[in-house]
Amino acid sequence: MTVPLRSRPVAWPRRVLHAVLIALALVFLLLFLVMPLATVFVEAFRQGVAPYLDSIRQPEALSAIKLTLLVAVLAVPLNVLFGIAAAWAMTRFQFRGKALLGALIDLPFSVSPVVSGLVYVLLFGAQGWFGPWLDSHGIKIIFAVPALVLATIFVTLPFVARELIPLMQAQGSEEEEAARVLGASGWQMFFRVTLPNIRWALLYGVLLCNARAMGEFGAVSVVSGHIRGLTTTMPLEVEMRYNEYEYVGAFAVASLLALLALVTLAVKSLLEWRYGDEIAAHAPGGH
Amino acid sequence: MSKRVLPGFGISLGVALAYLGLIVLLPLAALAWKATGIGFEGLIRLLSAPRTLAALRLSVGGAVVAALINVVIGLLVGWVLVRYRFPGRRLFDALVDLPFALPTAVAGIALTTLYAPNGWLGQWLEPLGIKVAYTPLGVFVAMVFVGFPFVVRTLQPVLSSLELDVEEAAESLGAQRWQTFFRVILPMLAPTLLTGFALALARAVGEYGSVIFIAGNIPMHSEIAPLLIVQKLEQFDYAGAAALGVAMLSISFVLLVLVAFLQRWSHRWQERAT
């Protein structure tokens, strides 16, 4: 005989309490998360669809979109290679200083974005360590695309590694050892055993890494020099237009970034729902 | 065993170390080196300047207050999302990560528009004498926004695995609902809440993009520490910018140690409890 769990006289006031708590949480989420998101789209279309499309089709907006894509296309794959290498070393071998290596991988998450950009100015800027040498060889890093890529790599460095390490730790190395014993070469083992085992977690890490790479503001703002059409990524274009009181234009570009955020959230939820077991128990994703 | 069978130790560790060295360690070394350029006296003068102190107080103090607010709201939202079933729950759950996914500059201009005196929320707060945009209060609002997901996301797995029988035992022993919550559930969640608090705090301390638009950036009043670094850079005061950067890194380091300490403490606490 089963007794219903909540079949006591207190059930009624408790249900009211539940309703009140749910209402409070939803009101907060609506005011605090949904309203800012809605603001972006409402402001972007405030003067209608035509001005919206016009402000996105302007050359500066198009070059900002292209630059943002370029930076992400360079930064994300490099961090994927690093993430796989770091996770392989950390989860498949024992060596001294492993904990220190783990802490170093996480370090960029605790550095202010402004400092993440500043360090490259101090390294490659006119007064930086390599500044004079770079200058005499005609190589531009600061206030040019290379610095944007470097600052973005710094800020998004932990995402892929952090996603892979707990998963590969949990999976263990038995399948890979079996592949080796059966005569697979190192690369055969990697492409036929390791990669299929980590593919969804890898995609999850790439997704978060990419969202941050395309949306990064503080770090790239410090190294960009804000040269319109040359070194302004989409978030910087948003800032410049906003500061010039060009609100529709600022929110139009912002709406594209907000759309990217929504797609990221949707794919992320889909991955968690469909492949939750094959993605490591995820810690909160940093900055 | 694995060391003998599995290949790639040298190359994977080599790639990881070289990458970290070039991307993280070398630039940080340049930062530390440049910071020494202002000398000990210069450092004291910089860090004791009223404007620096005000900015650091706002960045650190604001982050502490924002993280505390996030603990309370995060507990409420996490609890409701894990414990109750209602229409749209999955959607709201996915939405919790919005502050992670939304670029900070976008969040910054959206919050500013929302809380400006003629904005959707600002127009209701203005008659009450509450000014959010272009005040320290706006800085808190932006910091709460960016730190919000941390407490919810650290809390959710712990809440899901919380043993219902402990609560039911407490209730069958005659405890009131609120007694169960404050005497049984809250102490069990305390370590997790502290971890979420520290993560939200570390994020908010260095926050820049979402804050600078709504802050108004009035010196001594609503100016955050990262902005001060940007201004030093614009005045070509590289050593000053580096010294402030080191000061901020030191603050982050202390917070990181705090997180590690809290996590260790929470593990020990959980082992003792079970």
CATH number of the domain to which B45 belongs: 1.10.3720.10
Is residue B62 domain-resident?
A: yes
> Is there a single domain that holds both residue A90 and residue A199?
yes
User: Model pTM?
Assistant: 0.91
pLDDT of residue B271 exceeding 70, the answer is no
For B69-89, write each residue's pLDDT tens digit: 999 999 999 999 999 999 999
The pLDDT score that the predictor gives to residue B171 is 73
Q: Is B269 on the interface with A (CB under 8 A)?
A: no
> Is there a single domain that holds both residue A164 and residue A24?
no
Is residue B214 domain-resident?
A: yes
Which residues on chain A are in Cβ contact (under 8 Å) with B118? Answer: none
CATH number, residue A131: 1.10.3720.10
> How close, in Å, is residue B273 to chain A by CA atoms?
23
pLDDT of residue A283 exceeding 60, the answer is no
Domain with A127, as residue range(s), is 48-278
Q: What is the mean pLDDT of chain B?
A: 89
Is residue B7 domain-resident?
A: no
Q: What is the mean pLDDT of chain A?
A: 91
pLDDT (mean) for B161-165: 75
> Is there a single domain that holds both residue A34 and residue A71?
no
Please list the alpha-helical segments (H only) found in chain B.
2-5, 9-20, 26-35, 39-48, 50-83, 89-95, 98-101, 104-115, 122-125, 136-161, 164-172, 177-179, 186-205, 209-215, 225-234, 238-273
pLDDT of residue A199 exceeding 80, the answer is yes
Question: Is B31 close to A118, i.e. CB distance below 8 A?
Answer: yes
Write out the H or E segment, with its range, that includes residue A231. Answer: none
pLDDT of residue B263 exceeding 80, the answer is no
Is residue B71 domain-resident?
A: yes
3 state DSSP class of B249: helix
The pLDDT score that the predictor gives to residue B113 is 96
Confidence of residue A253 (pLDDT cuts 50, 70, 90): very high
- In whole angstroms, give the CA distance from residue B214 to residue A175: 53
Total structural domains in chain B?
1
Q: Is B18 on the interface with A (CB under 8 A)?
A: no
pLDDT (mean) for B254-267: 73
pLDDT of residue B116 exceeding 50, the answer is yes
Which residues on chain B are in Cβ contact (under 8 Å) with A251? Answer: 109
> Is there a single domain that holds both residue A80 and residue A110?
yes
Question: Is B76 close to A257, i.e. CB distance below 8 A?
Answer: no
pLDDT of residue B191 exceeding 90, the answer is no
The pLDDT score that the predictor gives to residue B214 is 95
The pLDDT score that the predictor gives to residue B199 is 87
The pLDDT score that the predictor gives to residue A7 is 46
pLDDT of residue B1 exceeding 70, the answer is no
Is residue B221 domain-resident?
A: yes
Of A97-106, A108-117, A275-284, give the lowest mean pLDDT range.
A275-284
Is residue B16 domain-resident?
A: no
> How close, in Å, is residue A31 to chain B by CA atoms?
9
The pLDDT score that the predictor gives to residue B70 is 96
Of A92-101, A185-194, B164-173, give the lowest mean pLDDT range.
B164-173
pLDDT of residue A14 exceeding 90, the answer is no
Is residue A266 domain-resident?
A: yes
Token reading at A279: 């993605």
pLDDT of residue B8 exceeding 80, the answer is yes
pLDDT (mean) for A233-238: 97
A42-63 in b/e burial notation, b at 16+ Cβ within 10 A? ebbeeeeeeebeebbeeebbeb
pLDDT of residue B264 exceeding 80, the answer is no
ipTM (interface predicted TM): 0.91
The pLDDT score that the predictor gives to residue A3 is 47
pLDDT (mean) for A189-211: 95
> Is there a single domain that holds both residue A191 and residue A262?
yes
Is residue A199 domain-resident?
A: yes
Which residues on chain B are in Cβ contact (under 8 Å) with A125? Answer: 238
| pLDDT-above-90 percentage for chain A | 84
The pLDDT score that the predictor gives to residue B2 is 44
The pLDDT score that the predictor gives to residue A247 is 95
Question: Is B153 close to A284, i.e. CB distance below 8 A?
Answer: yes
pLDDT of residue B34 exceeding 60, the answer is yes
pLDDT of residue A282 exceeding 90, the answer is no
- In whole angstroms, give the CA distance from residue B36 to residue B17: 26
Question: Is A105 close to B20, i.e. CB distance below 8 A?
Answer: yes
> Is there a single domain that holds both residue A268 and residue A155?
yes
Contact A127, A176 (CB under 8 A): no
Contact B105, A235 (CB under 8 A): yes
> Is there a single domain that holds both residue A254 and residue A178?
yes
> How close, in Å, is residue A203 to chain B by CA atoms?
16
The pLDDT score that the predictor gives to residue B179 is 79
> Is there a single domain that holds both residue A165 and residue A125?
yes
> Is there a single domain that holds both residue A35 and residue A124?
no
For A60-88, write each residue's pLDDT tens digit: 999 999 999 999 999 999 999 999 999 99
> Is there a single domain that holds both residue A81 and residue A115?
yes
Q: Map tokens 């009181």 to a residue.
A: A245
pLDDT (mean) for B157-176: 77
> How close, in Å, is residue B224 to chain A by CA atoms?
11
The pLDDT score that the predictor gives to residue A287 is 37
Question: Is A82 close to B153, i.e. CB distance below 8 A?
Answer: no
pLDDT of residue A2 exceeding 60, the answer is no
> How close, in Å, is residue B91 to chain A by CA atoms?
9
Q: Which of A3, A18, A20, A29 to mutate against chain B (most B CBs within 10 Å)?
A: A29
> Is there a single domain that holds both residue A193 and residue A68?
yes
Total structural domains in chain A?
2
For A111-162, write each residue's pLDDT tens digit: 999 999 999 999 999 888 999 999 999 999 999 999 999 999 999 999 999 9
Which residues on chain B are in Cβ contact (under 8 Å) with A186? Answer: 7-8
Domain with B193, as residue range(s), is 31-273
Token reading at A156: 């998004």
Q: Half-sphere exposure (CA, 13 Å, Cβ side) for A81? A: 13
> Is there a single domain that holds both residue A216 and residue A106?
yes
Confidence of residue A49 (pLDDT cuts 50, 70, 90): very high
pLDDT of residue B259 exceeding 90, the answer is no
Is residue A284 domain-resident?
A: no
